[in-house]
Structure 1
């Protein structure tokens, strides 16, 4: 049985968010109305200027995208995904990229789990020879988006981990998972070696409570923090 490693993509391997890039590419392709474009731009500027919280911005653009999806062709989504990956697929974190390559050399089965859409997740995962990728899956009927979702990944990562381990005949012995947000906690709880990467407040608190490894990636240095006797100490630095 092969050992397994689970990677979150958005904010963990990829430096930004694939679905945000996809939405803005569709905006550039004029697939949204002028009013929808104004809403997207206002939400983005509100977050950038710190006048709106991240979650409000994220919910705004995601709601616009999902409501518009039935009016956007599958071909346009494929084209936009291709453009995003070609333009931005190289924008990855040094630490997680090195971890990915090291684990591939050790013959780990690599799984990417993301809240971004399955199509763009597949395009990104292909760049890095990831064995299996699981993203948010929208229903397609007769080549068109129906407006319904076939598979959610948000808050289901623990369930997905169990499903993949069983279906691919993998072992959780020496397993690894890395993620950056609250939604990754369930996945991290199931593996032998969880890593909280540039963690959100909620994930940082959980990592500290459970003694998980914490990694802060900044420019060309990654700082690894570990729990020793109830205290968080700097255990290692990696330069890239």
Structure 2
């Protein structure tokens, strides 16, 4: 029997919180960036937030500013450090992922589809043995990041495109996409089921219009999957 697939967003979905924030703190502490660089990025985001810019535009600004900061950094060193950080913070990834993987590992592959940068998303994917991942990607030269964005996953259209590519290898029946934001709708339209994890009221309205599931308690996500798939 052909395997179905799970498509997981990371931040505020699988990860209990915002992983780039935890990662940036660890990277500053580890000497990867100057604190002033991070302060500048955060100031830019706060300014746009106060101007009530849409979430996707905030994400795009983050990607653009962060690409400048990452330029000149060794991708593999960043990846290994991120993997260590996530392993230390594994409790933030344990609300439902291990239980789902343990129960459905023989019938489903799983991918992480995230707006995070590729080195950090790959770190999460490798920790859990995912079949693959899709993430914001920068050009590299001799293993070093360049300030050139190859793939920007800030927008719903980007997630939709990547989900469509992945889903060409899998049946829609039995497949589930997991997310927390409007951008994750781009994945859910390709799978039989969509599960929103602790979403805000706007996203709940979107879920209701499309017949997608809402689970407010992260600890209840696994049971919702069992209810849907058996």
Asked whether 1:211 is paired with 2:226, we answer no
Residues of 2 paired with 1:40 and 1:171: CA distance? 41
Asked whether 1:13 is paired with 2:14, we answer yes
SS at match of 2:172: strand
- Structure 1: unaligned runs, 5 residues or longer: 226-235
SS at match of 2:105: helix
- What is the number of equivalent residue pairs in this alignment? 219
Aligned to 1:230: none
Residues of 2 paired with 1:136 and 1:37: CA distance? 19
- Higher RCO (CA < 8 A, seq sep 6+): 2
Larger radius of gyration: 1
Q: CA deviation at 1:58?
A: 6.2
Residues of 1 paired with 2:19 and 2:37: CA distance? 20
- Calculate the TM-score normalised by the size of structure 2: 0.78
- Calculate the TM-score normalised by the size of structure 1: 0.75
SS at match of 1:190: coil
Aligned to 2:135: 135
* CA spacing shift, 1:223–1:95, aligned 2, 3 Å: closer
Alignment check: 8 A CA contact 2:167 2:190 kept: no
Aligned to 1:104: 105
Q: Kindly provide the CA deviation profile for residues 39-93 of structure 1, in whole angstroms up to 9, marking residues without a partner as x.
A: 457689x79xx98979598677655422211132334423431332222133125
* CA spacing shift, 1:217–1:96, aligned 2, 3 Å: farther
Residues of 1 paired with 2:181 and 2:7: CA distance? 14
Alignment check: 8 A CA contact 2:8 2:178 kept: yes
Q: CA deviation at 1:129?
A: 2.1
SS at match of 1:91: helix
Residues of 2 paired with 1:21 and 1:101: CA distance? 27
Alignment check: 8 A CA contact 2:75 2:145 kept: yes
- Structure 2: unaligned runs, 5 residues or longer: none
Q: Residues 21-170 of structure 1: matches in 2 within 5 Å?
A: 21-39=22-40, 55=55, 62-92=63-93, 94-105=95-106, 107-154=107-154, 155=156, 156-166=158-168, 169-170=169-170
CA RMSD between the two structures: 3.3
Q: Kindly provide the CA deviation profile for residues 203-226 of structure 1, in whole angstroms up to 9, marking residues without a partner as x.
A: 2111011222110125x556989x
Residues of 2 paired with 1:152 and 1:59: CA distance? 8
Alignment check: 8 A CA contact 2:67 2:147 kept: yes
Aligned to 1:233: none
Higher helix share: 2
* CA spacing shift, 1:221–1:26, aligned 2, 3 Å: same
Residues of 1 paired with 2:148 and 2:136: CA distance? 11
Q: Kindly provide the CA deviation profile for residues 162-193 of structure 1, in whole angstroms up to 9, marking residues without a partner as x.
A: 21122xx3211222111111110111122111
Higher strand share: 1
Alignment check: 8 A CA contact 2:197 2:221 kept: no
Aligned to 1:229: none
SS at match of 1:14: coil
